[in-house]
Amino acid sequence: MNKKCIRDLSIEDLTSFCKDSGQRPFRVRQILYWLWRKGVSDFDQMSDISKEFRVTLENNFYFDNIKVDSISRSSDKTTKFLFSSTDNKYFEGVLIPDKDRVTACISTQAGCALNCAFCSTGKMGFIRNLSVGEIFGQVFELNQNCKKDFGRYLTNIVIMGMGEPLLNYENTIKAIEHVTNNDGLGFSPQRITLSTAGIAPKIKNLADDNIKFNLSISLHSADNKIRSSIMPINKKYDLETLSTALSYFYNKTGKRITYEYLLLEGINNSLEDAEKLAKFTKISPCKINLIEYNPSDSDIFSPSNKQKQQSFIDFLESKNLVVTLRKSKGQDINAACGQLANKKQ
C-alpha cells in the first residue's frame, strides 16, 4: 500500500477517510487540531484518539516531518536554522529579533530556479518544492524556538527565504491557510508578507483567491535592461507585464504593495534609477524598502555609496513615497537577504 502524507489531505479527504473507517464526525476536528495546532510529528502523540484508530492512521499515512539540522547565532541575535526533510533535502529559516517584534523568515523551496545575480540561493539551482507540511513546519518550529529564545511567540512572518513562493503556489497558499486558520496557529494574515520576484500570472491568482496577507515585490530595478541583467525572470515577465498584474492585484484587493529594492553600486542606485522607480510605483499606494547589499559568493556587486544612497532616499521622499532603509541582520552567519545557501557556521 502506498501511504499518503497526512498533511496533504483536504478536510474533505480526511472526512471521507474517517467516515469510511467508521469514525464519528468529531474525529476529523481532533486530527486537524493535532496536525495544525499542536504540530505533532507522530500519530501516537494524538492522545485523545484510540490506539486502534491511531494504528489505522499509521497504516495509511505518513508525516512529512522536518528536523533542525543545525542552528547558527549571530552577534545581533539573529538565528538561522538549517532544516532537513525526510528525503535529506536542506532549506533554511531565520528568526530576526528587532525591538518589540520577532520575525520569522521561511522558505518555500529547496534551492531556487530564478538565478538572480545577487542571490546565493539562486546559485544552488532548483532542487524541489517544499510540501505544505514542510512550509508549515518551519513556522511551527521557529515559533517554538522564538518563545524559548526571546520569551515571546512570533509577531511577523515573511515568506522571503529560499525559493520563489509563487512557483510553489498551491503548497504555499495551503500552508499559510493552516498558519492563519483558527484550527491552526491562528496567526493574523496582516502580519504575514509574501515576497515574489514577479511571477505575473500568479500575482493575478493571488488577487482572484482574495488573499488576506501582504504582497511584496522584489523589484531591484525599474529599468527593463538592468532588471533583466540581474533578474532573468524579467525576460519572461517584464516590467510592463508585472505592472499590469500589480494593477489587477490592487484593483481587486485594495491592498498596498511593498517593493523591495537592493541598492547596488553603479547598477541601480543613480537618481535616474530613483526616478524610474518612483514612476513605476505609481501603480498603487505602496511602500519601498531599500536594502543594503550583503556580500555573496560571487562578490561581483558592492553596496551603494552612502552619499548616493541618501540622495536616492531623498529623491523618493520628495515624491511623497514611503521609504525605509532596511539594515541587514545576520550577515556574520550568512542569514541576511540573499545569503541563504545552506551553509553551516
Task: Average the pLDDT over each of 172-181, 268-277, 296-305 and give the range with the smallest value.
Answer: 296-305
Whole-number pLDDT of residue 41: 95
Q: How far apart are CA 344 and CA 178, in angstroms?
A: 30
Catalytically annotated residue among 18, 52, 92, 141: 92
Q: How far apart are CA 217 and CA 203, in angstroms?
A: 10
Give yes or no for a contact between 91 and 83, defined as CB atoms under 8 angstroms apart. Answer: yes
Q: How far apart are CA 21 and CA 58, in angstroms?
A: 13
Cell numbers linked to 324 = 525605509
- Write the CB contacts of 232 (distance below 8 Å, at least 6 apart in sequence): 114, 115, 116
Q: Does 330 score more than 70 pLDDT? A: no
C-alpha closest to that of 79 among 100, 98, 66, 96: 96
- Judged on CB neighbours under 10 Å (0-12, 13-18, 19+), 266 is exposed
**CATH topology classification for 4-62:** DNA polymerase; domain 1 (1.10.150)
Cα angle 122-78-302, degrees, rounded to a multiple of 5: 45
3-state helix, strand, coil in the chain (%, to 5): 40, 20, 35
pLDDT tens string 1-26: 689 999 999 999 999 999 999 999 99
Cell numbers linked to 118 = 545577487
Q: Does 107 score more than 50 pLDDT? A: yes
C-alpha closest to that of 239 among 264, 262, 221, 252: 221
What are 307-314's contacts with CB under 8 Å, separation 24+?
308/265, 308/269, 308/270, 309/263, 309/269, 311/271, 311/274, 312/263, 312/269, 312/270, 312/271, 312/273, 312/274
- Write the CB contacts of 313 (distance below 8 Å, at least 6 apart in sequence): 290, 323, 325
- Judged on CB neighbours under 10 Å (0-12, 13-18, 19+), 177 is middle
Give yes or no for a contact between 34 and 45, defined as CB atoms under 8 angstroms apart. Answer: yes
Count the neighbouring beta carbons within 10 Å of the beta carbon of residue 88: 7
Q: How far apart are CA 289 and CA 261, in angstroms?
A: 6
Instruction: Name the one residue in this structure whose C-alpha cell is 485523545.
Output: 48
pLDDT confidence band for 120 (50 / 70 / 90): confident
The one-letter code for the residue type at 258 is T
pLDDT tens string 220-250: 999 999 999 999 999 999 999 999 999 999 9
* 337 in catalytic set: yes
Catalytically annotated residue among 18, 105, 146, 337: 337
Whole-number pLDDT of residue 328: 65
88 conformational bin, left if phi > 0, alpha if psi -120 to 50, beta if neither: left
The share of the chain scoring above pLDDT 90, in percent, equals 86
Q: What is the DSSP letter of 336?
A: S
Whole-number pLDDT of residue 97: 94
pLDDT tens string 126-183: 999 999 999 999 999 999 999 999 999 999 999 999 999 999 999 999 999 999 999 8
Q: What are the φ and ψ backbone dihedral angles of 90, each rounded to 5 degrees?
A: -120, 145
The one-letter code for the residue type at 2 is N
Q: Does 342 score more than 90 pLDDT? A: no
Count the neighbouring beta carbons within 10 Å of the beta carbon of residue 231: 23
Q: What are the φ and ψ backbone dihedral angles of 185, each rounded to 5 degrees?
A: -85, -10
H or E segment to which residue 126 belongs: strand 126-129
CATH 3.30.930.10 at 66-333, yes or no: no
Whole-number pLDDT of residue 345: 45
Instruction: Name the one residue in this structure whose C-alpha cell is 515568506.
Output: 159
Instruction: Name the one residue in this structure whose C-alpha cell is 553603479.
Output: 266
- Sequence spans of domains, the chain: 4-62, 66-333
Cell numbers linked to 28 = 476529523
Return mean pLDDT, the chain: 93
- pTM for the complete prediction? 0.93
